[in-house]
Amino acid sequence: MPIEVNSVSYVYAKGTPFETSALRNVSLTVENGEFVGIMGHTGCGKSTLIQLIDGLMRPTEGKILLDGEDINSKGYDRYKLRRKLGIVFQYPEYQLFETTVERDVAFGLKHLGLSKAEVTDRARWALETVGFDFGKVRGLSPMGLSGGEKRRAAIAGVLAVKPEVLIFDEPVAGLDPLGRDALMELTYDLNAAGTTIIMVSHNADALAEYAGRIIVLENGELIEDGAARQILSDVRKLREKQLGISQPTLIAEMMRERGVDIGHDVIRYNELISRVVLLVNGGVQK
C-alpha cells in the first residue's frame, strides 16, 4: 500500500499576518514494508508532513494518495485511513483519557466491528507487546502510570488497531535509554513482520540502526531522499547541514583521520565492530 505525497505544500494561517509556509512542493512515495526515517531541524516541516499524511490536515496544494486514492477527496472513507495508518505523537501520553488502561487501548477499536472477545484479545496483545502484564495493568487508571508507562500504554492504543503503517513523531524524546531501546526494537520487530514505519527522529544512532531510507527536510523542502547508508555515512554533508551523525560513523571517521582505513560507509555498531575485528586480525582490504 504505497503512500504518495504529490507536490504537497502547506501554509498555516493562510491569508493572515501569521501566514507560515511550512512545506513547499514536497513529493515522495513510501512503499509497503519500508522503514523510513525523517530528519531535519526544528521547524523544517516534519510534523506538518506527518499530519498531512495522516489526514489530520489538508494540503494547501498537492495531493496525498493512499493505495492510489486521494485521502482528501469527497467520499473517501476516513475509517479506512484510521485503520491503515496509526500515528504516535511526540508525547502520546497526553492522548490518554479513559478510566482504565484497557478501555484506553480499546478505544480505537470501536469502529472495527470486532467482537468483545476480539477487542480484549487485541488489548491484551498490544499491552503485552509494549511490555505490560495485561492482568495487572488492565484495570489501572492511565493517570496513575509513570511517564514511561503512559507512553507505552498510548503506543499500545495505536498498535491495537494493527495499522499497516505506523508513523512516529519523535517517539523517543524524553524516554530513558532503556525505554528508547525497547521502543526501537519494537518498531524493528513490527517492521520485520511487515508494518511500514515512518519515523521522525533526531536520533541518528537509532535511524542508522533501523531505517532503510532517510528523508531530509530543510525549511519546508525535501532536500534528500535516499538509502540510509548513503545519507548517514556522508559526514561532510551531515555536518554542513548540522544534522545528527551516528556514533559509529563518527568513530569510523576518527579512525580514518588517524590513518586507519575502516571504510567510508560504516553507520552501525555491529559494522564498526566487525571492521575493527578484521583490522585487528590484519585482514582489512584497502
Ligand X SMILES: Nc1ncnc2c1ncn2[C@@H]1O[C@H](COP(=O)(O)OP(=O)(O)O)[C@@H](O)[C@H]1O
Query: How many residues of this chain bind Mg ion (CB under 5 A)?
Result: 2
Q: Least distance in Å: CB of 233 to ligand X?
A: 23
- Separation between Cα atoms, residue 87 and residue 192, nearest integer Å: 18
Strand order of the β-sheet with 213-218 is 85-88, 165-169, 196-200, 35-39, 213-218, 221-227
| Long-range pairs for 234-241: beta carbons < 8 A, 24 or more residues apart | 238/204, 241/216
The reply on whether position 47 binds Mg ion by CB under 5 A is yes
Q: Near Mg ion by CB under 5 A, which window of 47-55, 66-74, 204-212, 272-280?
A: 47-55
Distance CA 159, CA 109 (A): 10
Residue with the closest Cβ to Mg ion?
A: 47
Residue 48 binds Mg ion (CB under 5 A) = no
Query: How big is the CA angle at 191 (ends 80 and 114), to the nearest 5 degrees?
Result: 40
48's contact among Mg ion, ligand X, none, with CB below 5 to 8 A by partner kind, is ligand X
Smallest distance, Å, CB 43 to ligand X? 4
Give the integer Cα–Cα distance in Å for 98 and 174: 23
Q: Which is nearer to Mg ion, 47 or 233 (CB)?
A: 47
CB of 46: closest distance to ligand X in angstroms?
A: 3
Pick 48 or 95: Cβ nearer ligand X: 48
- The residues that bridge with 198 in the sheet, in sequence order, are 36, 167
Least distance CB 258 / ligand X (angstroms): 36
Rounded distance between C-alpha atoms, residue 140 and residue 158, angstroms:
18
Give min distance, CB of 99 to Mg ion, in A. 30
Q: Which residues bind ligand X (CB under 6 A)?
A: 12-13, 20, 22, 40, 42-48
Indicate whether 51 belongs to the interface with Mg ion (CB under 5 A).
no
Cβ atoms of 46 and 53 within 8 Å: the answer is no
Collapsing DSSP states into helix, strand and coil, what is residue 227?
strand
Instruction: From the list ligand X, Mg ion, none, pick the one residue 43 interacts with, judged by a Cβ distance below 5 to 8 Å according to partner type.
Output: ligand X
Residue closer to ligand X (CB basis): 46 or 229: 46
Q: Binding residues for Mg ion, per CB under 5 A? A: 46-47
